[in-house]
Structure 1
């Protein structure tokens, strides 16, 4: 086994001659394409679109939606499209720090930088007078939300009404993430298997520094879940998890179910979904989408809307 490991590392060293990729300008990494929320914040963030809500507007549910690692606000756009002209709730699509820009912005951002815009939008909404705020996350967006809950962030802020987690990445399916500290400096980066369309909304190249940050975050949250914590009073949580997932191991849902309780000690809701997709609620730009995938998305969106407005 030791000889195999040595050979593996040697092979990595041989292929990792250039630690910086050749970046095409027509990908998100290139610094030409940017997430549109950066220059049209009022289209994506309720705090910018309506900074002075009326009393009635302040009571209307606002869902703060957080995308995953290497992604962008695009990951939650289908929920907004599905909601259409509904006026019974609003959506804030938050761009995580270091995302949606260029390769170097992504490379140099820590997981706390990723998380910071979530807190900033939450606090802007709170300070503007909104009183019915909920959180939704996909993949690593779930992980940054769970970290906020575990460290007691909401003890100093109003509690979210709902926390809705789609394919939370607490236990990554790719176990090579555990080796990133060893192989990362040799590789410099890894390439994502994106479609051409996805390269405009997800990073094609993932610097090893960001993978180290991801590993740190998931390890921290996994430890929090193993120790266990309770939600703030008045907060409900639901997990929607694909049964087959090449990115986030389904055991992530088990850990959340065991590790998180409501304020009165009750179990949180978990729904296992008959899907092979990671972030099954995002279907646009995928190479193959089945009628079952469409049905899974619709059912999840309907359930989210019901939980927000009941």
Structure 2
């Protein structure tokens, strides 16, 4: 019976499934490969690099960049490289809880754990005296950031300057995610189709427990958007969304636009990007990258910085 279900899901979801992952030493969690921010947090987190800022440093804009489900800090490495040499802002690349480590850690983590890493860096920066903090999230981090706002997390905290979402997921493109709660426990792990190079920075196998957590947080955010989410006073938001996306249905941007308002009732900004890539700002290790893809990436990076600095 399990084999039949697995074959059915393979046909529907386009991925393989197995009860135990075959992890090699060349993969993330291969015994030697883990996210580098674990070893050198000061290279990724402003709270670790400059824990006691001067008054001038504390005023400088800080962008907290958060990656997506099953990814690592690698997802924003190109933004860091693009901004290298800038002295007018700081960048914190947060590793979501449970990610970038072992499959056991990942499997045991909840979406609250994923989100907690964002909250920790935000609170550490605010506690240190930084006064200009913005949040940048890709894919699942978009949902995590929306839930932070709707939960009232910022009610008694420093208000973020702006929240910027790249290909946020609210509605999955693959509608079979809703089946994970039913058949996931019988299958264990789902195997993704990605390159050997990507195996070093993205989990090759996805534990069914984490897919259920993903489904849970997306359901919560959809309900929050139906009720309406209001940004904190003085906070703006922009959504950058690929027109074609194999992971995050473009209708996600529509739901965010309809369900999120600024404190004065104004709509949030949404820009549809002429792209077929999910998290189109990450181009390294992809099989095919066009000149248009590079233009999209540069234009978005430029706009992100412009919005943070204005």
Quote how far apart the aligned CAs of 1:230 are.
Answer: 0.6
Q: TM-score, normalised by structure 1?
A: 0.95
Within 2, Cα distance between the matches of 1:231 and 1:276?
Answer: 29
Cα-Cα RMSD:
1.9
Deviations 1:123-180 (A, max 9, x none): 0000000000000000001111111011110002111001000000110001110000
Within 1, Cα distance between the matches of 2:306 and 2:243?
Answer: 23
Does structure 1 conserve the Cα–Cα contact (< 8 Å) formed by 2:18 and 2:190? no
68-77 or 189-198, which deviates more: 189-198
Within 2, Cα distance between the matches of 1:77 and 1:17?
Answer: 30
* 1:74 is the counterpart of 2:80: no
Q: Secondary structure at the match of 2:19?
A: coil
**After the TM superposition, which residues 9-20 of structure 1 pair with which residues of structure 2 at under 5 Å, given as runs?**
9=5, 11=7, 19-20=19-20
Task: Structure 1 unaligned segments of length 5 or more: list them.
Answer: none
Does structure 1 conserve the Cα–Cα contact (< 8 Å) formed by 2:58 and 2:131? yes
Does structure 1 conserve the Cα–Cα contact (< 8 Å) formed by 2:17 and 2:189? no
Q: Secondary structure at the match of 1:234?
A: coil
Q: Secondary structure at the match of 1:153?
A: coil
Does structure 1 conserve the Cα–Cα contact (< 8 Å) formed by 2:2 and 2:187? no
Within 1, Cα distance between the matches of 2:17 and 2:42?
Answer: 44
Deviations 1:19-38 (A, max 9, x none): 11121121013232110101
Within 2, Cα distance between the matches of 1:304 and 1:269?
Answer: 12
Specify whether residues 86 and 17 from structure 1 end up closer, same or farther in structure 2 by C-alpha distance, changes over 3 A only: closer
Does structure 2 conserve the Cα–Cα contact (< 8 Å) formed by 1:98 and 1:113? yes
* 1:275 is the counterpart of 2:275: yes
Quote how far apart the aligned CAs of 1:103 are.
Answer: 1.1
Quote how far apart the aligned CAs of 1:229 are.
Answer: 1.5
Within 2, Cα distance between the matches of 1:137 and 1:188?
Answer: 28
Aligned residues: 305
Aligned residue in 2 for 1:307: 307
**After the TM superposition, which residues 1-310 of structure 1 pair with which residues of structure 2 at under 5 Å, given as runs?**
9=5, 11=7, 19-310=19-310
Quote how far apart the aligned CAs of 1:183 are.
Answer: 1.6
Within 1, Cα distance between the matches of 2:97 and 2:144?
Answer: 12
Specify whether residues 135 and 189 from structure 1 end up closer, same or farther in structure 2 by C-alpha distance, changes over 3 A only: same
Does structure 2 conserve the Cα–Cα contact (< 8 Å) formed by 1:65 and 1:137? yes
Deviations 1:51-71 (A, max 9, x none): 111111111100000000000
Aligned residue in 1 for 2:13: none
Task: Structure 2 unaligned segments of length 5 or more: list them.
Answer: 11-15
249-258 or 184-193, which deviates more: 184-193
